[in-house]
Structure 1
Amino acid sequence: MQSLRALLFCLITGVLAGCGHAPPEQTHDACLILEDNRAWWRDLRQSEDRWGISPGIQLAILKRESSFDANARPARQRLLGFIPGRRPSSAYGYAQALDGTWDWYREETGRRFADRDDFGDAVDFIGWYGHMSGRLSGIAATDARSQYLAYHQGHTGYNNGSYRNISWLNRAADQVATDAARYDSQISHCRRRLNRRFLGVF
């Protein structure tokens, strides 16, 4: 009965605010992130099994793109310094996927009802995009730095080397690689514990 009330509450309030998780209070320790959001571990594993992109790389891209905020959007441009204008792009959600790229993902995978503010859909998108980066740009699934550069610039941009002279983007890619290595190392030490705890999620 209590779980039924919780589900009904989520459905009702979801119309206004959604039922997504609040962003983690800390983003340095993957084990703590996943212990606080146990269903995320299932989603990360499913994406890894399907596309071959490690949980650490998935988390590192999410951290960079949205800081794990389901409703993240680029800040609006300001007219005359204070009048809200257009957003610079259509990026939205955990993975900050653009409208066109998200439509491509849904068409390619058959996931017509995937939502950018759903964690499971977002990490499946990241895994799929990483898989496409292997096919279209020859990037290894384990190369977090190049995976992020292709993610940010698109496959055509990456293949043309458009990132080479963008210093801030290269620093961002270095940080993603550092975060991915740390997350995967942390997860290797708590994977069994996460698997045991996940059994009690549902």
Structure 2
Amino acid sequence: MRRFNFSRVLPVTLLLAGLSACATPPSRINNVCAVFEQRDGWFNNWQAAAERAERKHGVPVPVLMATVRKESGFKGNARPPRTKLLGFIPWKRASSAYGYSQALDGTWSQYRLETGNFAARRSNFADAVDFVGWYHAKTADKYGVARNDTYHLYLAYYHGWTGFKRGSWKNNAGIQRYARETEAMAQRYAAQLRQCR
């Protein structure tokens, strides 16, 4: 009878456990230092990814992280809920938004084409935070919004460039509240980052 060889199975088991831990969203999402601590590691260094996006696009880390926090709560597989047919049958989703950034299919395709990052995935934090930086930087360039103006950057992110240009958000108290909440979160994240660096 063959004996079971633990030395062969253990490395694979540890690798799978480590990868599955990467799929778990952080539990303390209102503290950016805690988010980075929970997600920092060999496979998935979120702080380094956010700082790379800041250097590349000129959008501060707190603005990037507050946007991701508002959009998905740091869940890599986040999607809009399904609508219900006849009130109880799961039906279509309200949009194609997916992943950490909640990027729509068309906008994600544009990002991949313009950046040459054809392997980018919305469920990969580094790709998603780079997308958020790219989107905010384009908003800044198109509409003269400051790269640290979380309120207006988020309005454009939520409504899209066309909706932002039309001013669709001006009579929408709900989206204005979301933008104010995102701005307040970015301010809290900025203060927290000064303490944890």
Give the alignment's TM-score, normalised by structure 1: 0.86
The AA in structure 2 aligned to 1:105 is Y
Task: Quote the offset at 1:3 in angstroms.
Answer: 9.9
In the TM superposition, what are the counterparts of 1:1-202 in structure 2 within 5 Å? Answer: 5=12, 9=16, 20-38=22-40, 39-191=45-197
| Alpha-carbon separation, structure 1, partners of 2:95 and 2:123 | 16
| Alpha-carbon separation, structure 1, partners of 2:159 and 2:67 | 13
Task: Quote the offset at 1:189 in angstroms.
Answer: 1.7
Task: Quote the offset at 1:8 in angstroms.
Answer: 5.6
Residues paired across the two proteins, number: 186
Which residues of structure 1 form unaligned runs of 5+? 192-202
Task: Quote the offset at 1:20 in angstroms.
Answer: 3.8
CA RMSD for the aligned pairs? Answer: 2.1
| Distance of aligned partners of 1:6 and 1:136 in 2 relative to their CA distance in 1, 3 Å threshold | farther
8 Å CA contact 1:93–1:116 kept in 2: the answer is yes
8 Å CA contact 1:70–1:116 kept in 2: the answer is yes
Determine which structure has greater relative contact order: mean sequence separation of CA pairs < 8 Å that are 6+ residues apart, divided by chain length. Answer: 1
> Which structure has the bigger radius of gyration?
2
| Alpha-carbon separation, structure 1, partners of 2:141 and 2:179 | 20
| Distance of aligned partners of 1:3 and 1:43 in 2 relative to their CA distance in 1, 3 Å threshold | farther
| Alpha-carbon separation, structure 1, partners of 2:147 and 2:9 | 43
| Distance of aligned partners of 1:103 and 1:20 in 2 relative to their CA distance in 1, 3 Å threshold | farther
8 Å CA contact 1:133–1:139 kept in 2: the answer is yes
Task: Quote the offset at 1:62 in angstroms.
Answer: 0.9
Identity fraction in percent? 40
Give the alignment's TM-score, normalised by structure 2: 0.88
